[in-house]
């Protein structure tokens, strides 16, 4: 059922999702500091993000509701349903700085100078989706340089989505993979079914022919499974929205959908892509926000 687009949470989440991938990345004068400009790939000095700000997958410093803090960037505040992360690059003396995020979080974005630091507020993503994030800066800096997540707020609600196995098979290499894993995205051939989608299986077929096929699946890559849509057997999976029976083919689609920051696989959406093409997946073929997407609220 189509949601009421006047809902503040839904509109805010989709607007922020789109803004993160377009306006913020291309407007070099946002924020209260002096105008700065993007530091392109290969320019300046690179600083890798290595997980600072999270412990065992949880934010070290959660600031939500009345404690929400944009770090003095002037970038505004997202709705609670979207959540946020406040990135801080300590690089005293830098003249410009850019942050390189997964495409779904904004891609390459300009950071805002606040005192001797550079900051940016992005939509929230779990730390597992932030591997490969880095910053680049120009100028002669003094002291220790590091890139951390200062604080943030985990979303109070995710939005349900469904990007079909066919979507990932056709578009993963054209930008959709980079949108969820960053650049460079691992190839589907390098991702084993057993260590990705299958980890959400709560009931494993273990007897007879089904058991033999399940054993075979453990050595297959996601690319192998997507190339064989009739792969059996079905199993019970739980991607965070309750138990659902899926074939491995659909389980790959569910797993990859679950990697899109701010969204979660909604089993009720399976089949809707045929009834209303283009409305179930928040990404387009190039990994950019899909304006035709209709989200569903997931508790």
Task: Give how far the C-alpha of residue 54 lies from the chain's centroid of Cα atoms, to the nearest Å.
Answer: 16
Cβ atoms of 160 and 282 closer than 8 Å: no
Is 145 in a helix, a strand, or coil? Answer: strand
| Phi, psi angles (nearest 5°) of residue 122 | -110, 165
Q: What 8-state DSSP symbol labels residue 72?
A: T
| Least confident range of 21-30, 63-72, 190-199 | 21-30
Per-residue pLDDT tens digits for 142-186 = 999 999 999 998 876 668 899 999 999 999 998 899 888 888 889
What's the rounded Cα separation, in Å, for the pair 134 and 151? 17
Sign for the CA dihedral angle at 197, 199, 205, 207 comes to: positive
Per-residue pLDDT tens digits for 89-99 = 999 999 999 99
Given a cut of 80, is residue 239 above it in pLDDT?
yes
Domain boundaries, the chain: 8-153, 158-298
Q: Which pTM value belongs to this model?
A: 0.55
| Phi, psi angles (nearest 5°) of residue 54 | -125, 145
Q: What is the mean pLDDT of residues 254-262?
A: 89
Between 79 and 73, the more confident residue is 73
What is the percentage of the chain residues whose pLDDT exceeds 70?
Answer: 83
What's the rounded Cα separation, in Å, for the pair 41 and 274? 39
What's the rounded Cα separation, in Å, for the pair 263 and 163? 11
């Amino acid at each position: 059922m189509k949601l009421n687009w006047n809902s503040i949470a839904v509109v805010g989440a989709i607007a922020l999702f789109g803004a993160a991938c377009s306006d913020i990345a291309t407007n070099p004068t946002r924020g209260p500091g002096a105008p700065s400009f993007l530091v392109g790939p290969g320019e300046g000095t690179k600083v890798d993000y290595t997980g600072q700000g999270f412990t065992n997958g949880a934010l070290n410093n959660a600031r939500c509701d009345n404690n929400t803090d944009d770090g003095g960037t002037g970038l505004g505040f997202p709705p609670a349903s979207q959540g946020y992360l406040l990135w801080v690059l300590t690089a005293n003396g830098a003249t410009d700085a850019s942050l390189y995020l997964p495409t779904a979080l904004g891609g390459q974005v300009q950071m805002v100078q606040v005192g001797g630091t550079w900051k940016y507020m992005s939509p929230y993503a779990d730390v597992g989706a932030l591997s490969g994030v880095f910053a680049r800066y120009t100028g002669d800096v003094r002291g220790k340089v590091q890139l951390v997540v200062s604080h943030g707020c985990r979303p109070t609600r995710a939005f349900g989505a469904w990007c079909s196995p066919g979507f990932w098979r056709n578009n993963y290499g054209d930008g959709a993979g980079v949108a969820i894993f960053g650049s460079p995205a691992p190839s589907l051939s390098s991702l084993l079914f057993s260590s990705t989608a299958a980890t959400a299986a709560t009931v494993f077929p273990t007897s007879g022919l089904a058991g033999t096929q399940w054993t075979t699946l453990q050595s297959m890559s996601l690319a192998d499974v997507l190339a064989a849509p009739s792969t059996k057997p079905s199993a019970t999976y739980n991607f965070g929205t309750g138990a659902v029976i899926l074939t491995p083919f659909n389980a790959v689609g569910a797993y990859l959908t679950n990697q899109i920051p701010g969204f979660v696989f909604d089993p009720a959406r399976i089949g809707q892509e045929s009834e209303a093409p283009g409305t179930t997946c928040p990404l387009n073929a190039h990994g950019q926000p899909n304006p035709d997407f209709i989200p569903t609220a997931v508790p």
